[in-house]
Structure 1
Amino acid sequence: MYKDSVVPVKTETFSGIAAKSPIGQNIKEVLRRACAEKRLTVGLLPAIQYLSKTCQGALFCLTVEAPPGDNATHMQEVLLQAFCVENDIYVIKVDSEAKLRKMLGVCCSTMDFSCILVHYPYTDPFSDSQEFDLSVLSQSERDLIEHCESNWGYSQIPVIKLPEK
């Protein structure tokens, strides 16, 4: 009876946090490239505003879990993740907002790094075309897509431990 509702959990994500892996390094490379190419939307509210206009052009949505007790932010994040999954945007949970800030080299502590949208390279997000040239993606972006595809459909997204440096 309950067998159909049980979701198998991979052993490397049993604790809810994926072991240190090249995925964390891939995230770092993807963020740095996307930042240099001005393909990022940084902050929970700017990400929601962007996606409310168009979900075209968003490749990844990186999120950090809301602090305990912050129910309003938690609800916004859950809704954002559901929207992303529904619109085939890969959701990646990471372990630290401070590490994201450090990866991007931003010293502004007032800026919200709880959510970052990474856009497809060289696309017009407001175009009617649904086709993207995947050959322009970097190897790190392809590796992240492969990671997301392998975790697609699980009820709990594994949390990726980002590298310290």
Structure 2
Amino acid sequence: MYKDSVVPVKTETFSGVVAKSPINQCIRTVLMRACLEKRLTVGLVPAIQYLSQNSNGALFCITAEAPPGDSATHMQEVLLQAFCVENGIYSIKVDSEVKLKKLLGCCTAGLDFSCLLVHYPYADPFSDSQEIDLSILTDSERDLVSHCDSNWGCSQLPVIKLPEK
């Protein structure tokens, strides 16, 4: 049903590479750019700490599926997703923490990759505005916003399958 969750095809140049934008490629592009621009929080506990001080600074909250039987992590993720909905932060669920780790291994090593926060570019942390200025987002970020808008209010988020490589 959610087979690669494809959005309308667009192209974006990032590091000299032109990529088509299925959702999994958008996630990859957004995460790599956020990592390079130092607007990424890695790990469930650091994400919760960041959000407790600055709920307006996060654009996306990306979580990996919790391993079966890990009820403590599952409860933290459910509470985090509820917080994100309440504060207008787009939530995305992906299929694998290992794939996230491989994807961003160049930026950070030895960290918990069960949750990633992508900070809003050029966000004013003291602004009370919940309005997102789409004009400053990249095409991939806009595609992810559109994907999240189409799933807003769903009781369960679709799980995006990340590329193997």
More strand per residue: 2
1:51 and 1:108 map into 2 onto residues whose CA distance is 20
SS at match of 1:164: coil
Q: Hey, what does 1:113 align to over in structure 2?
A: 113
Q: Hey, what does 1:42 align to over in structure 2?
A: 42
Q: Hey, what does 1:25 align to over in structure 2?
A: 25
Aligned length: 148
Q: Hey, what does 1:128 align to over in structure 2?
A: 127
Contact 2:60 2:118 in 1 (8 A): yes
2:68 and 2:109 map into 1 onto residues whose CA distance is 20
SS at match of 1:60: strand
Matched, 1:160 2:160: yes
List runs of 5+ in structure 1 lacking aligned partners. Answer: 1-11, 13-17
List runs of 5+ in structure 2 lacking aligned partners. Answer: 7-21
CA shift for structure 1 position 85: 0.7
TM-score of the aligned structures, taking structure 2 as reference length: 0.84
The structure with the larger Rg is 1
Matches within 5 A, 1:1-150: 12=1, 18-20=2-4, 21=6, 22-106=22-106, 110-125=110-125, 127-130=126-129, 132-150=132-150
Q: Percent identity?
A: 70
Contact 2:62 2:94 in 1 (8 A): yes
TM-score of the aligned structures, taking structure 1 as reference length: 0.84
Runs of 4+ in 1 over 4 A off after TM superposition: none
2:128 and 2:84 map into 1 onto residues whose CA distance is 19
Q: Hey, what does 2:12 align to over in structure 1?
A: none
2:64 and 2:105 map into 1 onto residues whose CA distance is 18
Higher relative contact order (CA 8 A, sep 6+): 1
CA RMSD of aligned residues (A): 1.6
CA shift for structure 1 position 105: 2.9
